[in-house]
């Protein structure tokens, strides 16, 4: 995973763009569900992602970037099957926050591994910086998750409650 | 999961559009990797998805469709983390075919559950028909998977080889 700078910048741009889109969806859902407090959390996260995207875009300038494949930057889907079940599941602020957290952790770990493995000094520096930003997002989401009531275990497939305390 | 017809059609359109885009990515990757045979499989699947999408679009006509959330129709990402690892992993025809199969199965099961649970006769009929089409795609992919050499287990995180024979 030793990227050139254009490869790394392409990933970072795509990750931030994807995050911004997903946070907007989550914010809209929470708003439709009359949870303005959690909607505001997601709108803030959307704004951070867009700002970060614009900063990276400025850094890219006229550098030609490679085309990425969707699975290299897209958020994972929630653990449930698609369709109405996932929709109902995600209406719970607790699950929506966990979903966001899982994807932020994935981004954080991605940046951290690039920072550790890259041979390019500038890629290393940027990846370490971005990893730090993602870890702040994870911390912010953790704070919100701690304040959010966990829904009654009516979700048989809830991966959190299904995890043994090993 | 008892949809109205517009809700169901919106899901079906989104699923087919997503599938078409992913098959195009997979075909391009296989082609870049000089595997024309598997590239052709994915180009065929792309064409089927586009044809199906167009048929559903014709069925929709002027019906207003609801806006869906990404997690309701998007393909799951491969099991690996994003970035270069997933890219290398997906270069293997075997893994690319398994990835496609997993998502086709998910679509098939989605349609089947709608067909079983819907109260609307037309939704039931269409969902059963679409489920049948997806199961044909699964069968086609199974045929290809059976003919495709399984890569040496250099992927520590390969979920297939990690599955215990329980």
B106 contacts on A by Cβ (under 8 Å): 81-82
Grouped pLDDT means (10 residues each) for chain B, 166 residues: 88 97 96 94 97 96 93 84 65 93 94 93 96 96 96 58 40
**Chain A CB contacts of B73 below 8 Å:** 82
Residues 6 or more apart whose CB falls under 8 angstroms from that of B136 comprise none
Distance CA A42, CA B69 (A): 15
pLDDT of residue A123: 96
Cross-chain residue pair A70–B21, CB shorter than 8 Å = yes
pLDDT in tens, A6-36: 999 999 999 999 999 999 999 999 999 999 9
Contact criterion met (CB below 8 Å) for A129 and A112: no
Higher-confidence position of A88 and A99: A99
Q: Is residue B158 part of a domain?
A: no
The pLDDT confidence band at residue A82, using thresholds 50, 70 and 90, is low
From CA B136, how far away is CA B145, in angstroms rounded?
Answer: 14
Does B116 contact A at CB distance below 8 Å? no
Position B104 in a domain? yes
CATH code, domain with B64: 1.20.1260.10
CA pair distance B79, B157, nearest whole angstrom:
8
Cite the DSSP H helix spans in chain B: 5-32, 36-60, 84-91, 93-117, 121-147, 159-162
Percent over 90 (pLDDT), chain A: 77
CB neighbour class for B95 (10 Å; exposed up to 12, middle 13-18, buried from 19): buried
B157 in a structural domain: no
**Interchain CB contact of A110 with B (< 8 Å):** yes
User: What does the pLDDT look like over A105-122, one tens digit per residue?
Assistant: 999 999 999 999 999 999
Give the gap in angstroms from C-alpha A146 to the nearest C-alpha of chain B: 24
Domain for residue A121, yes or no? yes
Instruction: Find all residues with CB under 8 Å of B110, minimum gap 6, and list them.
Output: A81, A82, A83, B11, B15
| Closest CA of chain B from A38, distance in Å | 17
Give the number of other Cβ atoms within 10 Å of residue A57's Cβ: 14
Q: How far is B40 from chain A (nearest CA, A)?
A: 18
B36: in domain: yes
Q: In which band, very low, low, confident or very high, does the pLDDT at A165 lie, cut at 50, 70 and 90?
A: very low
What is the pLDDT at residue A2?
76
Sort out which chain A residues have CB atoms less than 8 A from B76's CB and list them: 76-77
Under 8 Å between Cβ of B7 and B66: yes
Is residue A162 scored above 70 in pLDDT?
no
Domain of B96?
A: 5-152
Q: How confident is the model at residue B162, as a pLDDT?
A: 42
Higher pLDDT, A161 or A131: A131
A144 reaches B (C-beta below 8 A) = no
Report CA-CA distances (Å) from B24 to B18, B48, B100: 10, 12, 11
pLDDT, tens digit, for every residue of A122-158? 999 999 999 999 999 999 999 999 999 998 765 544 5
Cβ atoms of residues A96 and A40 within 8 Å: no
pLDDT of residue B90: 85
User: Is the confidence at residue A79, as pLDDT, over 90?
Assistant: no
Q: Does B25 touch chain A (CB under 8 A)?
A: yes
Is A158 a domain residue? Answer: no
Mutate: best of B71, B76, B131, B157, partner A, most A CBs <10 A: B71
The reply to whether B165 falls in a domain is: no
Domain for residue A163, yes or no?
no
The total domain count for chain A is 1
Q: A22 CB near a chain B CB, below 8 Å? A: yes
Which chain B residues are within 8 Å of A81, Cβ to Cβ? 106, 109-110, 113
CB atoms within 10 A of CB A9: 22
Residue A85 has pLDDT above 70, yes or no: no
As a whole number of angstroms, the distance between CA B83 and CA A3 comes to 10
Using an 8 Å Cβ cutoff, are A76 and B74 in contact?
Answer: no
**pLDDT score recorded for residue B37:** 95
The nearest alpha carbon in chain A to B25 belongs to A69
For the beta carbon of residue B107, count every other beta carbon within 10 angstroms.
Answer: 28
User: Burial of B140 by CB count in 10 Å (0-12 exposed, 13-18 middle, 19+ buried)?
Assistant: middle
Q: Closest Cα partner for B40 from B2, B96, B113?
A: B96
């Amino acid at each position: 995973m030793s990227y050139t700078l254009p490869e790394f910048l392409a990933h970072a741009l795509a990750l931030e763009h994807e995050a911004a889109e997903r946070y907007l969806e989550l914010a809209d859902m929470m708003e439709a569900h009359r949870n303005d407090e959690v909607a505001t959390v997601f709108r803030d996260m959307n704004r951070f992602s867009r700002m970060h995207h614009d900063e990276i875009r400025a850094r890219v300038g006229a550098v030609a970037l490679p085309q990425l494949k969707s699975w290299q930057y897209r958020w994972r889907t929630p653990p449930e099957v698609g369709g109405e079940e996932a929709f109902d599941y995600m209406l719970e602020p607790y699950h929506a926050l966990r979903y966001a957290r899982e994807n932020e952790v994935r981004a954080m770990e991605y940046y951290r591994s690039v920072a550790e493995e890259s041979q390019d000094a500038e890629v290393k520096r940027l990846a370490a910086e971005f990893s730090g930003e993602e870890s702040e997002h994870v911390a912010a989401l953790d704070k919100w998750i701690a304040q959010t009531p966990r829904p009654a275990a009516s979700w048989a497939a809830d991966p959190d409650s299904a995890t043994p305390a090993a």
